[in-house]
């Protein structure tokens, strides 16, 4: 009782009672409000969650424009790569064609070289002597010898003869044959090679 009679204790006790009563009244009045807030809390959380993007979303108009530009550049690069591939294919085809043409030219050059008979200065004297000898023979006898000669030698000798003499030999060749092969065909070959002969006729 002496403690309760102390005015300080009485004041403290009065304060505690008033604070407790105030808290009780506040809790009682705020109970329905708290319950309503708790009830609406999931919807608010869902709304907040829906409003927030997943992760960090920094996509902006500038990035969208950059993405579009990159796609366009990628398309242009692909077109350029396709053009380069087409040009490379054309170059390879043209190189092959060029190689084929060169090979054809080389073959033609060889064929022409084989057909062109050239009398060198060293053999010209002997060829002229043989031409004079064959010119003194009858066309039939000259054909009998010429058909046994190789084409190069025959052309060199005929080139040193007079046209009338060569004409008589060719006429005789047109009447004869070498087995089943007519000599007229060989006369035609010799005529063509005489046309391509590289030499100086005897004066």
In tens, the pLDDT along 20-79 reads: 667 676 667 666 666 666 666 555 445 444 444 454 455 678 888 888 888 888 888 989
SS3 content of the chain, % helix, strand, coil (to 5): 80, 5, 15
Domain coordinates in residue numbering, the chain:
64-115, 119-195
- On the question of pLDDT at 187 being above 50, the answer is yes
Taking the C-alpha atoms of residue 106 and residue 90, their distance in angstroms, rounded to an integer, is: 24
The model's confidence at residue 184, banded by pLDDT at 50, 70 and 90, is confident
Taking the C-alpha atoms of residue 95 and residue 98, their distance in angstroms, rounded to an integer, is: 5
Taking the C-alpha atoms of residue 68 and residue 66, their distance in angstroms, rounded to an integer, is: 5
Encoded tokens for 159: 């080139």
């Amino acid at each position: 009782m002496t403690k309760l009679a102390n005015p300080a204790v009485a004041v403290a006790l009065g304060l505690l009672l008033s604070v407790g009563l105030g808290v009780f009244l506040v809790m009682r009045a705020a109970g329905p409000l708290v319950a309503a807030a708790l009830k609406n809390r999931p919807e608010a959380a869902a709304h907040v969650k829906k409003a927030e993007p997943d992760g960090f979303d920094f996509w902006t108009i500038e990035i969208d424009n950059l993405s579009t530009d990159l796609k366009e550049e990628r398309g242009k690069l692909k077109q350029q790569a396709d053009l380069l591939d087409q040009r490379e294919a054309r170059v390879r085809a043209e190189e092959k064609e060029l190689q084929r043409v060169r090979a054809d030219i080389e073959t033609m050059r060889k064929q022409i070289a084989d057909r062109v008979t050239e009398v060198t200065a060293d053999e010209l004297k002997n060829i002229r002597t043989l031409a004079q000898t064959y010119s003194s023979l009858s066309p039939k006898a000259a054909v009998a010898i010429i058909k046994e000669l190789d084409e190069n030698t025959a052309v060199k000798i005929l080139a040193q003869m007079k046209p009338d003499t060569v004409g008589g030999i060719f006429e005789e060749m047109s009447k004869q044959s070498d087995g089943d092969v007519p000599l007229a065909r060989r006369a035609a070959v010799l005529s063509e090679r005489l046309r391509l002969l590289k030499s100086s006729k005897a004066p």
